[in-house]
Amino acid sequence: MPTGPGRTLRPAASPAKSAESKAAESLLSIGSEANNVNVTAADESELADGATSPKIVVIGAGPAGLTAAYVLAKRGVTTTVLESDTVVGGISRTAERDGWRFDIGGHRFFTKVKPVEELWFEILGPDDFLRRPRLSRIYYRGKFYDYPIVPMNALRNLGFIEAVRCVLSYLWVRIHPPKDKATLEGFVASRFGWRLYRHFFKTQSEKVWGVPCTEIQADWGAQRIKNLSLFRAGWEAIKPKKLKARQGKSKQVTSLIEEFNYPKYGPGMMWEKCTELITAKGTKVVFDSRVTKIEHEGGRAVTVTALTDGVPTRYECSHVISSMPISELLRAMDPPVPADVLHAADSLRYRDFITVALVVPEADGFPDNWIYINDPSVKVGRIQNFGQWSPYLVKDGRTCLGLELFVNEGDEWWTKADEDLIENGKRELQQIGLVDASHVESGYVVRMPKAYPFYDAEYKAHVATLARWLEAHASNVYPVGRNGMHRYNNQDHSMYTAMLSVENIFGAHHDIWSVNVEAEYHEERVEEEAS
Ligand SMILES: Cc1cc2nc3c(=O)[nH]c(=O)nc-3n(C[C@H](O)[C@H](O)[C@H](O)COP(=O)(O)OP(=O)(O)OC[C@H]3O[C@@H](n4cnc5c(N)ncnc54)[C@H](O)[C@@H]3O)c2cc1C
């Protein structure tokens, strides 16, 4: 097992149980022992809709689908999980090539939702969860800026005059706020001023989304930097350590979190373990099975059809928990949905993602977990150093750098040959002065379609149309997760929607559409997947 300087391999501390989570526990019957899936006979009479023999089909073996299957197994209900891919974890998988492991992005396990945190520890156990230090910077105009912004470092890099201009520009927006705060541009400029917006947000956000910030809804920014402002970022940077320590998790802004949990072998390890646990209890996870049709009648889904090796298999269902993209779910309905609903489904957009993983000598790595590349002259938007996430991901005195490209499925980047993407990656590493291209020893490419649900001006109305149709015509279909709800959810909220949906099947009345929106569920959640 490789180790190296600066690598902390402390196991993560298991969470203490809160009153809120104890309540959730009694609802969900979550056992307190690690890996303890208590299977009891299903109490079928508990089901809200009077189904006597629950045949629950779960679509997708990502965090949301597997969480649903796991909490159902704990209630004694085994399920069939249909997964179109050949691996578990969805976007939160660990990809493995020639013994190198990397993740699609870099998945910090951080949450303010106690029942989710407890579930992580219950599934994985504390020994395989590492507590990792976080270091990240922004590369901008040839310089590295600490991220979160440290005032003295920013001042030194920007220069005194530009720093004063940024502060004046911030004061200006306090008096003259941007006209349209419904767009990402207006939202961010109103919090940081126009100059800082242009320096640090515009290029990065436009790389991620491929459109001007005026075409991206503020919702995305709101989910990411909800309570962060120039003032707050400055205060967090200079606040005494004692005060930080006293601050509860619920008061922390996630963008500023300095440590996080991470499974030893990457995020997929959590979902591989979860799969082992549920299959041991009788749940079936069927790989290479793409759901293509859901028959419905009398307001309920009655069968789910999946193509396995091109051969259709039909599964009867009493309930369906679906983490497949909601647009595809509605397109799979049989009889088909009416034209206006189909139009809403067809109108939902996504952004896709490529990781170019390049193996380099460890000495060519950097101390950061990731660096944002805020430079419009290169395609790469962010670079992970997977050795800094976990030394168990890399080997042989080398590390693996993950160059992230934000693309559209089918575009010139998506369709480039792997070798060309690797060559481009090497060139860009050299261009920004991070690594000499000749030091790159090998490379791998992973494409991830629909990595980001796109928040354009109409998305909310379209999602509402789809949710209304489901409620009226297939009320036993529960959309959960990220693309399952077309919501910019991280693992925790994706999982939480699955946990609450299972409770709804058993008679609760949670509004899962409020998760990651309302303060009650969301608190001060800020995430920074990509910028
Ligand atoms: C770059 C990046 C960085 C991220 N960083 C973090 C982070 O730091 N922390 C964090 O917590 N989260 C992070 N996330 C978010 C996290 O990846 C998602 O929240 C999580 O994976 C969503 O889980 P899910 O189960 O809803 O969906 P998915 O992970 O998308 O899983 C859905 C599954 O359904 C399957 N499927 C799709 N269609 C069908 C079909 N028709 N039939 C059968 N199966 C189907 C898919 O193959 C997939 O396995 C990040 C995401 C990205 C893109």
The CATH classification number of 46-94+113-129+266-348+457-522 equals 3.50.50.60
Spans of the chain, pLDDT less than 50: 1-8, 17-45, 250, 253-255, 519-528, 530-531
Q: Say what the alpha-carbon torsion angle 387, 392, 393, 399 is, to the nearest 10 degrees.
A: 40
Q: How many A from CA of 170 to the centre of ligand 1?
A: 36
Distance, in Å, from the CA atom of 31 to the CA atom of 168, rounded to the nearest integer, reads: 55
Write phi, then psi, for 395 (nearest 5 degrees).
-160, 170
3-state helix, strand, coil in the chain (%, to 5): 40, 20, 35
**Which part of the chain has CATH 3.90.660.20?**
350-453
Atom nearest to 65 CA in ligand 1: 25
Atom number of ligand 1 nearest to Cα 111: 11
CA torsion 86-87-89-94 (nearest 10°) is: -140
Q: Which homologous superfamily does the CATH classification assign to the domain defined by 350-453?
A: Protoporphyrinogen oxidase, mitochondrial; domain 2 (3.90.660.20)
Counting atoms of ligand 1 from 1, which one is nearest the CA of 60?
34
> Quick check: 486 and 454 in contact, CB under 8 A?
no
Ligand 1: atom nearest CA of 64 is 25
Helices of type H across 54-158 = 63-74, 114-124, 151-158
Q: Which of 79, 91, 292 most suits a substitution to test ligand 1, by most atoms within 8 Å of the C-beta?
A: 91
- Per-residue confidence (pLDDT) for residue 153, from 0 to 100: 82
pLDDT of residue 221: 73
Residue nearest to atom 11 of ligand 1 (CA): 491
Measured distance CA(449)–CA(352) in Å, rounded: 5
State the Cα–Cα distance between residues 102 and 34, nearest whole angstrom.
Answer: 26
pLDDT of residue 6: 34
**CA angle 131–135–139, rounded 5-degree value:** 155
pTM over 0.85: yes
62 Cα to the center of ligand 1, angstroms: 6
Contact residues of ligand 1, CB 6 A cut-off: 59-65, 82-85, 90-92, 104-108, 290-291, 323-324, 328, 353, 451-452, 481-484, 489-492, 494, 529-530
pLDDT for position 531: 38
> Atom 15, ligand 1: which residue's CA is nearest?
490
10-19 burial, b if ≥16 CB within 10 A, otherwise e? eebebbebee
User: How many A from CA of 435 to the centre of ligand 1?
Assistant: 31
Q: What pLDDT does 234 receive?
A: 61
Give the residue among 277, 270, 326, 301 at the shortest CA–CA distance from 72.
Answer: 277
The Cα–Cα gap between 336 and 294 comes to 9
- pLDDT value of residue 285: 97
> DSSP readout, 199-251?
IIIIHHHHHHHSS-GGGSBHHHHHHHHTT--HHHHHHHHHS-HHHHHHS-GGG
The alpha carbon of 517 and the centre of ligand 1 are apart by a number of angstroms equal to 19
Q: Which of 383, 387, 382, 442 is nearest to 418 (CA)?
A: 442
- The tokens describing 399, both together, are 């590390």
Q: Whose CA is nearest to atom 26 of ligand 1?
A: 481
- Residues 318 and 57: their CA atoms lie apart, in Å, by 8
Query: Atom of ligand 1 at shortest distance to CA of 448?
Result: 53
Q: What is the pLDDT of residues 123-159, one digit of tens each?
A: 999 899 999 999 999 999 889 988 877 777 887 898 9
Write the single-letter amino acid at 43.
Answer: D
List the beta strands (DSSP E) in 309-349: 311-316, 319-322, 333-334
Nearest CA to ligand 1 atom 7: 107
pLDDT in tens, 79-126: 999 999 999 999 999 999 999 999 999 999 999 899 999 999 999 998
CA-nearest residue for atom 49, ligand 1, is 90
Share of the chain above pLDDT 90, in %: 65
Task: Look at ligand 1, atom 23, and give the residue with the nearest C-alpha.
Answer: 63
- Residue intervals of the chain classified under CATH 3.50.50.60 are 46-94+113-129+266-348+457-522
How far, in Å, is the centroid of ligand 1 from the Cα of 423?
A: 28
Instruction: Render pLDDT for 231-249 as a digit per residue (tens, 0 to 9).
Output: 666 656 556 555 555 555 5
Query: How many Å apart are CA 124 and CA 273, to the nearest integer?
Result: 7
